[in-house]
Amino acid sequence: MSELPFQLEEIKHQFALGGDYIGYDRINNGHINNTYVLHFQEDGQNRDFLLQQINTHVFHNPDELMENILGVTSYLRRQIEAAGGDPERETLTVYRTIGGTPYYKDAEGHCWRIYNFISNAYTCQNITDPVVFHNAAKAFGTFQQMLADYPSDSLHETIPNFHNTVSRFQDLLQAIEADQAGRAKHVQEEIAFAKAREADCHVLLDLMERGDLPLRVTHNDTKLNNVMFDNDTKQGICVIDLDTVMPGLSLYDFGDSIRFGANTAAEDEKDLSLVSLDLNLFEQYVKGYLSTAGQSLTKAEVDNLAFSAKLMTFECGIRFLTDYLNGDTYFKTAYPEHNLDRCHTQFALVADIERKMVQMQEIVSRA
Ligand code: GN1
Ligand code: MG
C-alpha cells in the first residue's frame, strides 16, 4: 500500500469515493502534472476517477487555477446542455472535497484534484488516421467558439506571459547568460538557430498591438493528446487539460496543434530525419478548424495560420532549450538530454516548415 504514489485512504476520504478500490494506472502523457486513473467497483459496477497532482512549481496559485477551471467547465456545461449534448462526456467535471473545495491539499502541501473519467473514449499521441486530426481540429475550433462570449476578464493568468514569444525569447537569453547547469558551451549551434529567428517572436504581438489580432479565450495547450475521441465515432468529444485556459490568440491554439499533431515524428524523436511537417495533416487541420472556428476569424488570423505553426514550434523549441540550460527544472524529463532532444525535434520541424511555408500558405488560401 505504501508504495502507491498517492495516499489512497486520504484521497478516498477527502473526495468521498465509494466502493472497493481495485487499482490504478498512471497516465504518462503530460510534462507537468502527475495523473492517475483510479479504478473502483461499486455494486458490481466499475467506476473510474481521474486523479491529478497539480504541479504547484508550475502553477503557483492552485486556488486561482481551479477557479478558472470551475468557471469554464460550468459555462461549457450549460452550453453543452443547451445544445442537447452530454456534459458528463463533453467537458470535465470537478469533484469537490468533503470540505467543499475543488482540490485537496495534503499535509506535505501537495495539491490533488479529481475529475470524472470519460469512458468509451481515447486519447492519441500521434496520428495514424488523418480523419482523427480533422476531428481534433473541429473539437478545438468548437471549444474556442463555445467560449467566445466567456467573460475573459474573470480569468486569472495561471502562468503569466505563457505564449508571449518575446518574453520567452528573453527567458532564453537569461538562461544562456546564467548558464546554471554549465551546458551552454554544448549548445552553441542551437543558440545560434534561435537567435537567427528572434524577429519572428515579435510578429503576432505587433499585430495584436495594432489591433489586427483579437484577444480571445483560448486553450493554450492544444496538443493532440488534450482531446478525447469517442471510441465508436472517432469524433473529438471533449477538450481536456484546462490549466492554461486564458485570454490569448487563436493562433496560439492553431499553431500548437500543428506543432504536435502534424509532425511526422514524436516530440522527443532522436532520429531527426523522421521529423517533418505533414502537409496532408496540415490541410486536414486547417479545414477542420475553419469549419468550426472559421466564421469568427479575422483576415489577419487566417493570413497567419501557417506562420503560427512555425512560431509555436519555435517557441516550444526555445522553451525546451531554456529548460535544458536551466538544468531541467520545469518539464518532466526521463533522462538528462531529454529536453535537448525535444529542442532538436522542434527546431528540425521549424526548418521544415520554413521550407514548406509557400505550400502551407496555398493550402490555407484554397481552404
Ligand atoms: C506541457 O503538460 P502538457 O504536456 O500538456 C506544457 C505546454 C507545452 C507542452 C510541450 C503548462 O504540456 O505548454 O507545449 O508541455 N504545459 C505547460 O509538449 O507548460
Ligand atoms: Mg498541460
CATH architecture designation of domain 130-366: Alpha-Beta Complex (3.90)
pLDDT of residue 1 exceeding 90: no
The answer, yes or no, to whether any atom of ligand 1 lies below 6 A from the CB of 266, is no
- Mean pLDDT of all residues belonging to the chain: 97
Instruction: Enter the C-alpha cell of residue 184.
Output: 551552454
Q: Which residue has the cell 503530460?
A: 30
Residue matched to cell numbers 463555445: 146
**Tens-digit pLDDT profile for residues 319-341:** 999 999 999 999 999 999 999 99
Percent share of the chain, pLDDT over 70: 99
Report CA 265 to chain centroid distance, whole Å. Answer: 18
Residue ID of nearest Cα to ligand 1 atom 15: 31
* CA dist., res. 90 & res. 240, Å (int): 9
Return the CATH superfamily for domain 8-119.
Phosphorylase Kinase; domain 1 (3.30.200.20)
Residue 351, pLDDT above cutoff 60: yes
Domain locations in the chain as residue ranges: 8-119, 130-366
The minimum-distance atom of ligand 1 relative to the CA of 241 is: 5
Cell of 356: 514548406
Q: What is the pLDDT of residues 49-70, one digit of tens each?
A: 999 999 999 999 999 999 999 9
For residue 255 and ligand 1, the question of a CB distance below 6 A is answered with: no
d(CA 125, CA 123): 7
Average pLDDT over residues 93-116: 97
Ligand 1 atom 1: the closest Cα is on which residue? 31
Q: What is the mean pLDDT of residues 160-173?
A: 98
Q: What is the pLDDT of residue 180?
A: 98
pLDDT bracket for residue 294 (50, 70, 90)? confident
B/e letters for 86-125, b = 16+ CB within 10 Å, e = fewer, are ebebbbbbbbbbeeeebbbbeeeebbbbbbbbbeebebbe
Identify which of 39, 50, 30, 137 has the alpha carbon closest to the alpha carbon of residue 92. Answer: 50
> For cell 460550468, what's the residue?
74
**Residue 122's pLDDT is what?**
96
Contacts with 322 (C-beta within 8 Å, 6 or more apart), sequence order: 168, 171, 172, 175
- In this prediction, residues 198-220 reach a mean pLDDT of 97
For residue 249, pLDDT beyond 90: yes
Give per-residue pLDDT as tens, 296-308. 999 999 999 999 9
Is the CA virtual torsion 209, 211, 213, 218 positive or negative?
A: positive
Q: Closest Cα to atom 19, ligand 1: which residue?
A: 32
pTM: 0.97
Mean pLDDT over 173-188 rounds to 98
Q: What letter represents residue 328's amino acid? A: D
Encode pLDDT of 133-156 as tens digits: 999 999 999 999 999 999 999 999
pLDDT at 29: 86
What's the one-letter identity of residue 262? Answer: A
2 pLDDT band, cuts 50/70/90, is low
Report CA(219)–ligand 2 centroid distance (Å).
Answer: 10
pLDDT for residue 275: 98
